[in-house]
Amino acid sequence: MHSLCRNCLAFIKNEPRCSKCNSPSILRHTELKSLSIAHLDCDAFYASVEKRDNPDLIDKPIIIGGGNRGVVSTACYIARIKGVKSAMPMFQALRKCPEAIVIRPRMELYANISKSIRQMMFELTPAVEPLSLDEAFLDLTGTEKLHGNPPVVQLSLLVKKISQELGITGSVGLSHNKFLAKIASDLDKPKGFSIIGKKETEEFLSNKPVSLIWGVGNTLKSKLEEDGIRTFSELKIRNKEDLMKRYGQMGLRLWHLSRGQDSRKISANNQVKSISNETTFSEDTSDRLLLDGHIWRLSEKVSDRAKATEKLGSIVSIKLKRKDHSQVTRRLSLRDPTQMCSMIYKSAKTLLDNLDDRGPFRLIGVNLSKITKALPDHYYNDLVDIQGKNNIEVEKATDKIRGRFGKKAILRGRTLR
Amino acid sequence: MKVSIERSVLLKAMSQAQSVVERRNTIPILANVLIEAEGETVSFRATDLDIEVQDKVKATVERSGVTTVGAHTLHEIVRKLPDGSQVVLADDSTSGRLHISTGRSNFTLATLPREDFPIMASAEYDVNFNAKANILRRLFDKSKFAISTEETRYYLNGVYMHVSNDENSNVLRCVATDGHRLARVDADLPANASSMPGVIIPRKTVGELGKLLNDDDVDIAVSVSDTKVRFATSDIQLTSKVIDGTFPDYSRVIPSGNAKRLEVDAAEFARAVDRVSTVSSERSRAVKLNLDEDRLILSVNAPDNGAAEEEVAVSYGDEQLEIGFNAKYLLEIAGQVDRENAIFMFNSSGDPALITEGEDSSAIYVVMPMRV
């Protein structure tokens, strides 16, 4: 059994309190020094940022989310005690916690903080796989020699540094694969540090519900339930071939996961399959001019992200949700992959123009998919579309200005529509 | 209605009809073919609201009448019937069914009322002229590969047919471009065509038109207005809306100052391009052309996959040039050149190249280079 003091980061003997700093916060595990796959999840990220920037909010319940119609994107821990959860419709959240202060998300700010956090992660290892702004997998295998410390120490240092420099707390899950690391980070939130070792993996999982598995949603869950599989132990006794016959590729994955096996690699760039952005209106609308304005702003956001991550996409699609939540999607393939806002917008606009359904709609989204890596030298000149070339030059120039003076330094008139 | 038609005749008419009918239809009647029997002919009419095709065939009409029935199903049935059989189509107005029978096979299909079937309004055509099938076939066959599929530039989704007097002689001209390559094909202007308005004929129509143009010497009656175009033989009539848009000014796209001249056997060139592009792993396969004194080296370098190189004997006497192209584009253009050597005119590695068949300027192609 190894013990690490989370406060002074010293390995100590097996004592209830650290003999050096008297802290009771001790990590104890036999595999403490050998585990190297981690998942780091910031605690109520957006809410923490808002509380950090406005100390008056510290002891109040706050909810980050959009307008009356939107959903909760993050609730602080005080609001969570009242039963507010992420993705809950705002009206429902406010019914549970009427005194909550609702704050509109400031995505640009969160993205900047996220970037700083990611930078700190990259100092530990190049194998960082972000899942969203506030969580990421890290593979620290083989970094002990470099850092002079086992991963557990470096990770503890990382959360300390994030907390000290950015005022954000996070929880770490440390294990031997991605699946378990992700589960572990959720065990002891906030400010947690949980470890699932190889030895106790099967025992740990046995009574857990299979819905813990990413990819087991409501449909698969009920199918599994019909087959008498609710927990990992019920899954584990199943024959591999039978699972594959019944559930296809997912069956094989289930078989491995029931044994705590997950061979997925952590890599910085195998993630993005599509880039999308959507917005829910405060009131249902069928106003095409208004929708057009939204499409432009959404295209801008999608394009910004594609440019930031150096990705191109060759399919543009739009999504519209009707009053009754049923949705329409339309897509088109581009001749050449793009990350340019003008191209994404033009395509999305064509799709909207060709749509017979006049609404009213409650939500609109723009999506760029069939993602490839940016190949800037691959751009063709077009024989007939002289304006298109100019548009790209204008956009590049605009991007430079926005890069230097901020996103609102220069705008298209359309943005204000 | 009760008619008797030879299976092969019926199959030909139904093939034409079903290819116009869209596979997926939200409006049920558009999945149907309108069958009209009168005198000694039966006509089959199909539409997707943009194109209408009507095919008239000789048949024994026992009882004249009109009905509509699912085009794809009827086509499938006829296709599977034994060759040489005589097919009887008879509608039963009380049950609303169409009976199809031949010897031992009997089928019954649901029908929809003829009143629901949308007949394309026959427009007033501004210009009517006749052209030989082989002339029209050449115009469209040589240009259609360059039609764009980009929905955002709908005005490029067809062949622009118009009258041009570029070099002081009037020609009937077809142009298509997708922005990467362009094809411009000319034919002698048929009598009575000089005042024809320029029209953009949609890709699907161009595809359907191909089926009308099989016999070289058949006269095709062409009618054109600002909004519609019609091609007709004595049996088949193809009517189509034209694309409502402005085709870009293509004349400034065609390079006039390209001075570096490469002459090469088109078929040999195409085979070499095809061979070297095999190693390319990307969708857009870039082939590099290295030109030097009577020598062309084609090469592909795909770092993840491999590399290939091939030398082709050519006629080239200008300064050394290195230029890259999408292999697919080169193959498609080389495929249009069938009588003589292909002549490429280059300027620099960043400028579009001009390709002709020998010295014949009645069909020219322009292709954008790629950076390699």
Q: Are A20 and A5 in contact (CB under 8 A)?
A: yes
Q: Are A411 and A362 in contact (CB under 8 A)?
A: no
Domain termination residue (choose one: B216, B237, B252): B252
Query: Do the Cβ atoms of A385 and B179 come within 8 Å?
Result: yes
Residue B45 lies in a domain: yes
Residue A96 lies in a domain: no
How far apart, in Å, are the Cα atoms of B236 and each of A149, B61, B202?
83, 19, 19
Which residue, among B49, B150, B175, would best test binding to A if mutated, counting the most A CBs under 10 Å from its CB?
A: B150
Minimal CA separation from A119 to chain B, in Å: 30
Within an 8 Å CB–CB cutoff, is residue B157 touching chain A? no
Residue A149 lies in a domain: no
**Are B340 and B267 contained in the same domain?**
yes
**Are B108 and B145 contained in the same domain?**
no
Which residue, among A384, A387, A389, would best test binding to B if mutated, counting the most B CBs under 10 Å from its CB?
A: A384
In this predicted structure, what is the pLDDT of residue A220?
86
**Are B56 and B170 contained in the same domain?**
no
SS3 B182: strand
Residue A94 lies in a domain: no
**Are B347 and B324 contained in the same domain?**
yes
Q: What is the spatial distance between Cα A166 and Cα A61, in angstroms, rounded to a whole number?
A: 21
Within an 8 Å CB–CB cutoff, is residue B155 touching chain A? no
The CATH number for A240's domain is 1.10.150.20
Residue B101 lies in a domain: yes
In this predicted structure, what is the pLDDT of residue A409?
79
Query: Do the Cβ atoms of B153 and A385 come within 8 Å?
Result: yes
Residues of A contacting chain B (CB within 8 angstroms): 332-336, 346-347, 350-351, 354, 377-378, 380-385
The CATH number for B357's domain is 3.10.150.10
Residue B169 lies in a domain: yes
What residue in B sits closest to A345 (Cα-Cα)? B152
- What is the C-alpha end-to-end distance of chain B, expressed in Å? 65
Residue B344 lies in a domain: yes
**Are B94 and B198 contained in the same domain?**
no
Residue B122 lies in a domain: no
* Torsion, CA A119, CA A122, CA A128, CA A129, rounded to 10: 20
How far apart, in Å, are the Cα atoms of A220 and each of A205, A240, A248, A255, B276?
19, 17, 12, 14, 48
Structure tokens at B33: 């073919």
Note whether ipTM > 0.85 here. Answer: no
Would you give the DSSP letter of residue A106?
-
**Are B60 and B73 contained in the same domain?**
yes
Q: Are A390 and B192 in contact (CB under 8 A)?
A: no
Query: Do the Cβ atoms of B151 and A385 come within 8 Å?
Result: no
What residue in A sits closest to B251 (Cα-Cα)? A384
Which residue, among B151, B244, B328, B370, would best test binding to A if mutated, counting the most A CBs under 10 Å from its CB?
A: B151
User: Which residues on B lie below 8 Å from A382 (Cβ)?
Assistant: 179-180, 368
Within an 8 Å CB–CB cutoff, is residue B149 touching chain A? yes
How far apart, in Å, are the Cα atoms of B67 and each of B90, B91, B99?
10, 7, 11
- The β-bridge relationship of strands A193-195 and A170-175 is parallel
The CATH number for A381's domain is 3.30.1490.100
User: Smallest Cβ distance to B182: which of A351, A383, A385?
Assistant: A383
SS3 A347: helix
**Are B70 and B106 contained in the same domain?**
yes
User: Which residues on B lie below 8 Å from A332 (Cβ)?
Assistant: 151-152
Q: What is the spatial distance between Cα A299 and Cα A277, in angstroms, rounded to a whole number?
A: 8
Residue A393 backbone dihedrals phi, psi, to 5 degrees = -65, -45
**Are A209 and A304 contained in the same domain?**
no
**Are A332 and A369 contained in the same domain?**
yes
Residue B142 backbone dihedrals phi, psi, to 5 degrees = -80, -15
Counting as low any pLDDT under 50, the low residues of chain A are: 377-378
Q: What is the spatial distance between Cα A144 and Cα A34, in angstroms, rounded to a whole number?
A: 10
Q: Return the number of CB contacts < 8 Å for A and B.
A: 52
What residue in A sits closest to B182 (Cα-Cα)? A383
- The β-bridge relationship of strands A62-65 and A26-29 is unpaired
Beta-carbon neighbour count of residue A298 at 10 Å? 23
**Are A288 and A341 contained in the same domain?**
yes
User: Which residues on B lie below 8 Å from A385 (Cβ)?
Assistant: 153, 179, 248
Beta-carbon neighbour count of residue A388 at 10 Å? 18
Query: Do the Cβ atoms of B178 and A335 come within 8 Å?
Result: yes
**Are A355 and A306 contained in the same domain?**
yes
- Residue whose tokens read 């240009």: B143
Residue A229 lies in a domain: yes
Q: Which residues of A are catalytic, by number?
A: 135
User: Smallest Cβ distance to B152: which of A350, A378, A384?
Assistant: A350
Q: Find residues 252-281 of chain B whose CB sits inside 8 Å of chain A.
A: 253
Beta-carbon neighbour count of residue B120 at 10 Å? 18
Q: Find residues 216-255 of chain B whose CB sits inside 8 Å of chain A.
A: 248, 250, 253
In this predicted structure, what is the pLDDT of residue A402?
80
Query: Do the Cβ atoms of A378 and B182 come within 8 Å?
Result: no
At a CB cut-off of 8 Å and minimum separation 6, what does B151 contact? Answer: A332, A347, A350, A351, A354, B157
What residue in B sits closest to A372 (Cα-Cα)? B282
| Domain of A18, in residue numbers | 1-30
Cross-strand pairs, B295: B292, B313
**Are B278 and B228 contained in the same domain?**
no
**Are A287 and A371 contained in the same domain?**
yes
User: Smallest Cβ distance to A383: which of B154, B366, B371?
Assistant: B366
Residue A308 lies in a domain: yes
**Are A243 and A294 contained in the same domain?**
no
Q: What is the spatial distance between Cα A187 and Cα A207, in angstroms, rounded to a whole number?
A: 15
| Domain of B291, in residue numbers | 255-367
Is the sign of the CA dihedral A321, A322, A327, A330 positive or negative?
A: negative
What residue in B sits closest to A385 (Cα-Cα)? B179
Within an 8 Å CB–CB cutoff, is residue B47 touching chain A? no
User: Smallest Cβ distance to B180: which of A346, A351, A380?
Assistant: A380
User: Which residues on A lie below 8 Å from B176 (Cβ)?
Assistant: none
User: Smallest Cβ distance to A383: which of B177, B284, B371?
Assistant: B177
Residue B33 lies in a domain: yes
Query: Do the Cβ atoms of B151 and A347 come within 8 Å?
Result: yes
User: Which residues on B lie below 8 Å from A347 (Cβ)?
Assistant: 151-152
Query: Do the Cβ atoms of A335 and B156 come within 8 Å?
Result: no
User: Which residues on A lie below 8 Å from B351 (Cβ)?
Assistant: none
- What pTM was computed for the model? 0.71
**Are B138 and B248 contained in the same domain?**
yes
Q: What is the spatial distance between Cα B138 and Cα B131, in angstroms, rounded to a whole number?
A: 12
Q: What is the maximum alpha-carbon separation in chain B?
A: 81
Within an 8 Å CB–CB cutoff, is residue B156 touching chain A? yes
Q: What is the spatial distance between Cα A283 and Cα A363, in angstroms, rounded to a whole number?
A: 10
What's the number of domains chain A is made of? 3
What residue in A sits closest to B282 (Cα-Cα)? A372
Residue A377 lies in a domain: yes
Residue A150 lies in a domain: no
**Are B240 and B261 contained in the same domain?**
no
Structure tokens at B239: 């009517």
Domain termination residue (choose one: B207, B236, B252): B252
User: Which residues on A lie below 8 Å from B352 (Cβ)?
Assistant: 383
Q: What is the spatial distance between Cα B369 and Cα B353, in angstroms, rounded to a whole number?
A: 7
Residue B16 lies in a domain: yes
User: Which residues on A lie below 8 Å from B149 (Cβ)?
Assistant: 333, 335
Element holding B349 (H helix, E strand): none
What's the number of domains chain B is made of? 3
- Give me the tens of pLDDT residue by residue for chain B, a chain 372 residues long: 999 999 999 999 999 999 999 888 888 999 999 999 999 999 999 999 999 999 999 999 999 999 999 999 999 999 999 998 999 999 987 888 999 999 889 999 999 999 999 998 777 898 999 999 999 999 999 999 999 998 888 999 999 999 998 767 789 999 999 999 999 999 999 999 999 999 999 999 999 999 889 887 899 999 999 999 999 999 999 999 999 999 999 998 899 999 999 999 999 999 999 999 888 866 567 899 999 999 999 999 887 788 899 999 999 999 999 999 999 999 999 988 888 899 999 999 989 999 999 989 899 999 999 877
Residue B372 lies in a domain: no
